[in-house]
């Protein structure tokens, strides 16, 4: 993809080869073609590349219908131009580009007070051990106050420590002791949704219009959700609240209510939360599902065809939403961009070219992202029982190292709390455990 070319305008008359000029188009084509053992460069073929987008419903034999084609075209046209990225010279230095991060799941890491639940004091007590491993930073899964419907990713109070883990004083002690050993502290922050027990949502249910506008509330009848979107946790993505006669959106569990980033007052509240923790001395954030904060205006129905393929109906309307880049630039300018802080975004569904848009230094959005392309072979997902082919990992990581440009920096990781152990996926035979682990 030539990043110096201007952004094309897509229509049904557009040849398929033009997809290669769009970061979203390139990555969608790459993902689909990989399932057939091909890649997006196939669209450079004179015959295939000349096929017009409008022919896809007929040629795909129902895989792409007219409505889905319109959605794809609208999405391609809503994404801003990439702009030129730096390909020459040296990488710009930054402390986070050299760090080795150790992920900690606080609940199970170390139970210091003996109550059966891991805690912040347990992490502090093991900082010497962590330092001996040679790590430079710790990333803690969520530690803010939460009813734990989704392991802390449903935050009830953004400025309070989860009681099971300790107190704010315990956190400050951990932070100070980590810094004394040269270890940075990265927090897990959830800005796409809050718990339904958060004060904002409770005040919304009490009828306060201001706080209803912090979420996606829609008037309606109890048997008719506003659209056909499905939750990542199965079932409708909507809850009905008879006391106010409204539906509310939840992309994940029924207790994780999507925040309305279209509301500037809500955005400022979130910026202030980020500044609160940065002022405490936090070194950075892992931003949970940050790529889905922008939703298509009007929240239109999702494609049944795409939903059956992916298992998540409606995802085309938010996985790389129309105002995502605008929101991320605003987030940076009003929070972590004012500090010597680091951000890594969790961006499910995005490919390398979309990730360049999210992380290029010239664009002022995120520092880097967690790209999941290498974690599963084409056509597979983390729930499938299969033997992973390491040649796929080699292909993806090589492309990321060579083609990511001098403006972008990639994260190297092989598993996390959301994914199965890579060693077991390659070969579960214990006889090969050490050999695979040392590759």
**Contact, 155 vs 190, CB < 8 A?**
yes
Token pair for 158: 């953004």
**Inter-CA distances, 323 with 260, 359, 414, Å:** 12, 16, 30
**Cβ neighbourhood burial of 286 (10 Å; 0-12, 13-18, 19+):** buried
Among the listed residues 330, 346, 365, 373, the single catalytic one is 346
Site of tokens 């990989």: 34
Question: What residues contact residue 409 under an 8 Å CB cut-off, 6+ apart?
Answer: 91, 94, 97, 359, 367, 368
Active-site residue among 145, 170, 258, 288?
288
For this structure, is 170 an active site residue? no
Cα 374 to chain centroid, rounded: 15
Query: Which H or E run contains 219?
Result: strand 217-219
Q: Which helix (H) or strand (E) holds 104?
A: strand 101-104
Spatial neighbors of 265 by CB under 8 A, at least 6 apart, are 210, 213, 214
Residue with tokens 């979130």: 270
Scored b (16 or more CB within 10 A) or e, 131-149 reads eeeebbbbbbbbbbbbebb
Tell me how far apart the alpha carbons of residues 118 and 99 are, in angstroms, rounded to a whole number: 25
Q: Quick check: is 384 catalytic? A: no
As separate numbers, helices (DSSP H) first and strands (DSSP E) second, the chain gives 17, 13
> What whole-number distance in Å separates Cα of residue 93 and Cα of residue 337?
16
Distance separating alpha carbons of residues 125 and 109, to the nearest angstrom:
11
Residue 168: how many CB atoms within 10 A of its CB?
A: 12
What are the φ/ψ torsions at residue 184 (nearest 5 degrees)? -80, 155
| 3-state secondary structure at position 186 | strand
Contacts of 293 (CB under 8 A, 6+ apart): 191, 192, 259, 261, 321, 324, 327
Q: Could you list the active site residues? A: 288, 346
């Amino acid at each position: 993809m030539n990043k110096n070319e201007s952004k094309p305008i897509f229509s049904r008359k557009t040849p398929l080869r033009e997809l290669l000029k769009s970061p979203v188009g390139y990555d969608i084509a790459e993902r689909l073609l990989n399932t057939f053992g091909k890649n997006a460069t196939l669209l450079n073929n004179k015959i295939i590349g000349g096929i017009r987008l409008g022919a896809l419903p007929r040629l795909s034999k129902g895989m792409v219908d007219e409505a889905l084609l319109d959605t794809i075209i609208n999405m391609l046209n809503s994404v801003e131009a990439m702009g030129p990225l730096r390909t020459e010279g040296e990488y710009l230095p930054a402390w986070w580009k050299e760090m080795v991060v150790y992920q900690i799941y606080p609940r199970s890491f170390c139970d210091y007070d003996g109550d059966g639940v891991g805690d912040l004091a347990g992490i502090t007590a093991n900082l010497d051990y962590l330092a001996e491993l040679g790590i430079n930073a710790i990333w803690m899964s969520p530690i803010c106050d939460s009813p734990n419907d989704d392991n802390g990713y449903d935050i009830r109070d953004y400025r309070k420590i989860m009681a099971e883990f300790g107190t704010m004083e315990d956190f400050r002690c951990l932070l100070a002791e980590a810094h004394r050993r040269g270890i940075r502290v990265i927090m897990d922050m959830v800005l796409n949704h809050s718990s339904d027990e958060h004060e904002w949502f409770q005040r919304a249910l009490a009828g306060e219009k201001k706080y209803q506008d912090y979420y996606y509330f829609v008037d309606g009848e109890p048997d008719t959700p506003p659209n056909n979107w499905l939750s990542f946790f199965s079932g409708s993505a909507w809850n009905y609240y008879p006391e106010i006669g409204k539906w509310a959106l939840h992309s994940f569990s029924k207790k994780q209510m999507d925040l309305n980033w279209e509301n500037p007052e809500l955005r400022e509240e979130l910026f202030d939360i980020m500044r609160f923790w940065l002022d405490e001395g936090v070194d950075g954030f892992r931003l949970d599902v940050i790529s889905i904060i922008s939703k298509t205006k009007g929240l239109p129905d999702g494609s049944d065809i795409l939903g059956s393929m992916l298992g998540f109906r409606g995802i085309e309307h938010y996985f790389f939403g129309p105002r995502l880049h605008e929101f991320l630039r605003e987030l940076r300018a009003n929070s972590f961009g004012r500090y010597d802080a680091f951000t890594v975004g969790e961006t499910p569904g995005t490919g390398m070219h979309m990730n360049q848009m999210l992380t290029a230094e010239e664009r002022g959005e995120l520092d880097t992202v967690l790209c999941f392309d290498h974690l599963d072979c084409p056509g597979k997902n983390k729930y499938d029982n299969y033997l992973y082919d390491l040649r796929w990992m080699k292909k993806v990581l090589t492309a990321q190292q060579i083609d990511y440009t001098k403006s972008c920096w990639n994260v190297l990781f092989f598993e996390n709390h959301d994914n199965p152990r890579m060693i077991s996926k390659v070969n579960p035979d214990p006889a090969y455990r050490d050999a695979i682990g040392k590759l």
